[in-house]
Structure 1
Amino acid sequence: MTPSEIIGFVLMAGVAAYVQTLTGFAFGLLLMGAVGLTAVMPLRDAAVVTGVLTLVNAAIMMIRGWRDVLRTELVLVLCASLPTLVAGYFLLDHLASTGLIYLRIILGLVIIVSALQLVMPPRKEEKEATKSSFVFFGAFSGIMSGLFSTSGPPLVYHFYRQPLPIAAIRETLVAIFSINALIRLFVVIADGTFPKPVYWPAFFAIITVSLGTHMARRMPLPLSPKTLRLIVFVLLCASGASLALPAIPKALAWS
Structure 2
Amino acid sequence: MSIPELTGFLILTGIAAYAQTLTGFAFGLITMGGVGLTGILSLPDAAMIVSMLTLVNATQMLLKGWRDVAWRQLGLIMAASIPMILVGYLLLEWLAGSHVDLLRLFLGTVIIVSSLQLARKPEPLAEPSGNGTFLFFGGISGVMGGMFSTAGPPLVYHFYRQPMPLTIIRETLVTVFALTAIFRISLVAVYCDLPSSSSMSALLAVPVVTGATYAARRWPPPLSPFTMRRIVFFLLLLSGIALGLPAVMRLS
Instruction: State the alpha-carbon separation in 2 of the partners of residues 216 and 79 from structure 1.
Output: 31
Match of 1:33 in 2: 33
Matches within 5 A, 1:123-202: 123-202=123-202
Q: Tell me whether 1:235 sits opposite 2:225 in the alignment.
A: no
Q: Tell me whether 1:19 sits opposite 2:19 in the alignment.
A: yes
Instruction: State the alpha-carbon separation in 1 of the partners of residues 239 and 233 from structure 2.
Output: 10
Match of 2:62 in 1: 62
Instruction: State the alpha-carbon separation in 1 of the partners of residues 117 and 219 from structure 2.
Output: 25
Once the 2 structures are TM-superposed, how far is the Cα of residue 223 of structure 1 from its aligned partner?
2.1
Match of 1:100 in 2: 100
Say whether the 8 Å CA contact 2:125–2:163 is kept in structure 1.
Answer: yes
* 1:164-215 deviations in Å (ceiling 9; x for gaps): 1211111111111100100000000000111010111100000100000000
Match of 1:225 in 2: 225
Give the share of equivalent positions with the same residue, in percent.
49
Once the 2 structures are TM-superposed, how far is the Cα of residue 119 of structure 1 from its aligned partner?
2.2
Q: Tell me whether 1:83 sits opposite 2:83 in the alignment.
A: yes
Structure 2: which 5+ residue stretches go unaligned?
none
Q: Tell me the SS of whatever aligns to 1:126.
A: coil
Match of 2:51 in 1: 51
Instruction: State the alpha-carbon separation in 2 of the partners of residues 74 and 225 from structure 1.
Output: 24
Could you tell me which amino acid in structure 1 is paired with residue 138 of structure 2? Answer: G
Once the 2 structures are TM-superposed, how far is the Cα of residue 14 of structure 1 from its aligned partner?
0.8
Instruction: State the alpha-carbon separation in 1 of the partners of residues 226 and 171 from structure 2.
Output: 21
Q: Tell me the SS of whatever aligns to 1:128.
A: coil
* 1:51-76 deviations in Å (ceiling 9; x for gaps): 00000000010011101111110110
Say whether the 8 Å CA contact 2:60–2:210 is kept in structure 1.
Answer: yes
Instruction: State the alpha-carbon separation in 1 of the partners of residues 118 and 95 from structure 2.
Output: 29
Q: Which of 57-66 and 162-171 deviates more? A: 162-171
Q: Tell me whether 1:6 sits opposite 2:10 in the alignment.
A: no
Say whether the 8 Å CA contact 2:137–2:158 is kept in structure 1.
Answer: yes
Instruction: State the alpha-carbon separation in 1 of the partners of residues 99 and 195 from structure 2.
Output: 19
Instruction: State the alpha-carbon separation in 2 of the partners of residues 228 and 164 from structure 1.
Output: 20
Instruction: Give me the CA root mean square deviation.
Output: 0.9
Say whether the 8 Å CA contact 2:35–2:41 is kept in structure 1.
Answer: yes
After TM superposition, the score normalised by the length of structure 1 is: 0.97
Q: Tell me whether 1:246 sits opposite 2:226 in the alignment.
A: no
* 1:22-42 deviations in Å (ceiling 9; x for gaps): 111100000000000010010
Could you tell me which amino acid in structure 1 is paired with residue 99 of structure 2? Answer: G
Once the 2 structures are TM-superposed, how far is the Cα of residue 227 of structure 1 from its aligned partner?
2.2
Instruction: State the alpha-carbon separation in 2 of the partners of residues 106 and 234 from structure 1.
Output: 19
Q: Tell me the SS of whatever aligns to 1:163.
A: coil
After TM superposition, the score normalised by the length of structure 2 is: 0.98
Q: Tell me whether 1:213 sits opposite 2:249 in the alignment.
A: no
Could you tell me which amino acid in structure 2 is paired with residue 149 of structure 1? Answer: S
Structure 1 stretches of 4+ with a deviation exceeding 6 A read none
Structure 1: which 5+ residue stretches go unaligned?
none
Instruction: State the alpha-carbon separation in 2 of the partners of residues 211 and 48 from structure 1.
Output: 21
